[in-house]
Amino acid sequence: MRKLLLIVTGGIAAYKALELVRLATKAGYGVTAVLTKAGAQFVTPLSLQALTGSKVYQELFSLTDESEMGHIELSRAADLVVVAPATADILAKMTAGLADDLASTLLLATDKPVLVAPAMNVRMWEHAATQANMATLAKRGVLVVPPDEGPMACGEYGPGRLTEPPAILAAIKAFFADGPLKGLHAIVTSGPTHEPIDPVRYLANRSSGKQGHAIAAALAALGARVTLVSGPVNVRDPAGVRMVRVETAREMRDAVRAALPADIAVCAAAVADWRVEEAGQKIKKDGSGQPPALRLTENPDILAEISQPAPSRPRLVIGFAAETEKLAEHAAAKRARKGCDWLVANDVGGTGIMGGDENEILLLTPNGSEAWDKMDKTALARKLAARIGEFFA
Ligand code: C5P
């Protein structure tokens, strides 16, 4: 039986932890709960105990707890540590490495993977401190189930609500997914890049990130450990993947390099081929009627770079090609030019594919090309992930 160590911290969303325990035990997980002092203001140890069927741990220095099971032992016995809800306070403690109660000490001492489901007021969530903490935690490999957007108990509206327990359970399941990609690391790039023109303007494209994000989720569901490097998008972070957020092509290249080694790379991002050579002060109208000239310079080609023969080259590199004409011909040329193994080509010429919910592709592999029927981007992602699974079988 997979064992979860559930840390419940203080917030009005703590009541949802009870539902999470109910769903998780029903799904066959063993759950041991740790309740912080603040958490105990919102749910009682008794309810957690009744639902987990085991003792609830609250004190760092409790003689009985230490003799029965020390905090090191508590995390040693778990396969995954889940913090739900995770308050701004516990996230800050995790980032700083503070250990002043049982929950924070456990989180500092554990060598087990940690998944957090943040919940807090929208301003606290959007505060630069919390966002910086989230970025640091993600970099350290902490898995995040992002909060939902909606009305909050405090009367405000925005992102910060604890996501619903079924979504947290889905992230837990994705973590334990035992599929053909178990033990493999996949890097997926997704979304557009933003290339600054000046401090307020940028060059971008219509990529929504829907296809890349769906591929990341589908690979995770087959057991892969996934790093998703995403440009600015409005789609939800997929459950159970490590997120790295970037803006420019150069940041994306650096993030991809930092995430290596990997077994699989799927470059689904619509990376800007060009950036403005010198993005200086805000460009102003000077009254001369002469529009300013933008000098462009080439961006690094992430797909071509990662496809280069090198000891760190992923075994399977998949590129995307957004074309508006002569799909098969351009795609084949691109596959050769970039040096990737497979190429997913789609016609984006006025069909609403870029940014839309459906996709129709041509898959080029060393064995030839296949036209896939038009389908939902999620379905396409699952089909592609299954093919990747066959490749590694
Ligand atoms: O050359 P083009 O941009 O059409 O190639 C598309 C493919 O190359 C996509 O897989 C995209 O993710 C990747 N690409 C990249 N870095 C760039 C440009 C494109 O990884 N700078």
* Ligand 1 cavity residues, CB under 6 Å: 189, 249, 267, 269, 271, 273, 299-303, 319-321, 334
User: Does the structure show a pLDDT above 70 at 54?
Assistant: yes
**Predicted pLDDT of residue 151:** 84
Atom of ligand 1 nearest to the CA of 321: 6
Q: Is 340 a catalytic residue?
A: no
Structural domains of the chain, with CATH: 3-176 (3.40.50.1950), 185-392 (3.40.50.10300)
Output the CA 212–ligand 1 centroid distance in Å.
13
Nearest CA to ligand 1 atom 5: 321
**Predicted pLDDT of residue 41:** 96
**CB-CB neighbours of 366 under 10 Å:** 7
For residue 5, what pLDDT band results from cuts at 50, 70 and 90? very high
Output the CA 258–ligand 1 centroid distance in Å.
18
Output the CA 191–ligand 1 centroid distance in Å.
11
User: Does the structure show a pLDDT above 80 at 71?
Assistant: no
Single out the catalytic residue among 154, 258, 310, 371. 154
Exposure string over 145-176, b if 16+ CB within 10 A, otherwise e: bbbbeeebeeeeebebbbbbbebbbbbbbbbe
**Predicted pLDDT of residue 243:** 87
Nearest CA to ligand 1 atom 6: 321
For helices 88-96 and 102-109, angle between their N-to-C axes, nearest 10 degrees: 40
Which tokens in the block code for residue 38?
Answer: 């603040």
**Predicted pLDDT of residue 30:** 97
Which residues does 139 contact at the CB level (< 8 Å), separation at least 6? Answer: 244
**Which of 243, 230, 217 is CA-nearest to residue 270?**
230
Nearest CA to ligand 1 atom 2: 321
Q: What would the pLDDT profile of 268-284 be if each residue is shown by its tens digit?
A: 999 999 999 988 888 88
Mean pLDDT, residues 206-235 taken together: 95
Residue 278 burial by Cβ neighbours in a 10 Å radius (0-12, 13-18, 19+): exposed
Q: What would the pLDDT profile of 134-185 be if each residue is shown by its tens digit?
A: 989 988 889 888 898 888 877 888 888 998 999 899 889 888 888 999 989 9
